[in-house]
Amino acid sequence: MKILVTGGCGFIGSSFMELMLDKPDVSIVNIDKLSYCSNKNICKQYGDRYELIPSDINEIANVLNEKYSDIDQIFHFAAESHVDNSISDPFPFIESNVTGTFRVLEYARKHNKPILIVSTDEVYGSLSLNDKPSTEKDPLKPSSVYSSSKASADLIALSYFRTFGTKVIITRCCNNYGVNQYKEKFIPTIFNSLKNETKIPIYGNGENVREWINVLDHCEAVWAASQKGRFGEIYNIGSGYECSNLELVKKAIKVWGADESSMSFVKDRKGHDVRYSLDSSKIKKETGWSPKYTNMDAFVELASGMWKK
């Protein structure tokens, strides 16, 4: 089986590629523009089962010639992914997440390839602390340019299924944790601050709640959805484990052996959503997937050990 991965040098895409290349009969073509957060050396040990095409996905029609006609399936991870960057400079989010996804969909349509679009819980917008978890049928109410660009991509993808019959599946996952996450994200920020003995910046009052999943569970779920999911459907991927930013920081501080003077409450992020939470019963029921690595405290301990080295 030959798969096309977009954004495979990112945090989640690289984990997905490793999972796939562990299967002896899989080979991968990865299109990634190699941006500031990319892991450029990933998967080199897999020899000719792995090929990196260093390109923007907006060039997909030009860089994938007939040599790649044997691709069986597309996994679309590439995106600008950091909300804060979408506040300081929104345009790259439109170029990569909206126009870029459109071009990958066009490739899938023209070459009749099944495509799985990796999306996010953020498209549902903010929940209050008492709201029920979001289901796939809930309306989209994105708050940031990041989440609205992802919601736009989801809608275009669904229209490709409806209008052209393109074999589209969408997955929407909660916050991921795992090794090799780029330093701009929350968990690396916490441990880099502890290591450098600088204050850990916490937006607002720190009460914002996120659902957290191990990146390996996310990748297994993407694979399960691609193999057992139905075209034209959306699948939420969550762990059921929710915690506030403040709780997470306090856990890290305790494991590190620091005290709460390491925290600094900073001006809240513009449009900061209070809570995301997913109802993931559909993917569990239809594919049999369920999360395996459900102990986030164990990861916080592992991360602490890694940063101390």
Catalytic sites, residue numbers: 121-122, 146
10 or 229: CB nearest ligand NAD? 10
User: d(Cα 202, Cα 259) in Å, to the nearest integer?
Assistant: 15
Phi-psi region of 39 (alpha: psi -120 to 50; beta: other; left: phi over 0): beta
By CB under 6 A, is residue 85 in contact with ligand NAD?
A: no
Site string for ligand NAD, 1-40 (x = CB under 6 A): ------x-xxxxx-----------------xxxxx-xx--
Site string for ligand NAD, 86-105 (x = CB under 6 A): ----------x---x-----
Separation of first and last alpha carbons in the chain: 39
Cβ–Cβ contacts within 10 Å for residue 70, how many? 10
138 in helix, strand or coil?
Answer: coil
Selected from 81, 148, 239, 245, the binder of ligand NAD by CB under 6 A is 81
Which residues ranging from 50 to 69 are in contact with ligand NAD (CB under 6 A)? Answer: 56-58
Which residues ranging from 192 to 251 are in contact with ligand NAD (CB under 6 A)? Answer: none
Q: Which of 232, 242, 235, 243 is nearest to 218 (CA)?
A: 235
Q: Which residue is nearest to ligand NAD (CB)?
A: 10
Stretch that binds ligand NAD, among 21-29, 168-176, 242-250, 266-274 (CB under 6 A): 168-176
100 or 200: CB nearest ligand NAD? 100
By CB under 6 A, is residue 79 in contact with ligand NAD?
A: yes
Within the chain, what is the greatest distance between any pair of CA atoms? 59
47 in helix, strand or coil?
Answer: helix
Is residue 194 within 8 Å of residue 200, measured between CB atoms? yes
Torsion angle, CA of 242/245/251/253, rounded to 10 degrees? 170
Chain positions contacting ligand NAD, by CB under 6 A: 7, 9-13, 31-35, 37-38, 56-58, 77-81, 96, 100, 118, 120, 150, 173, 175-176, 182
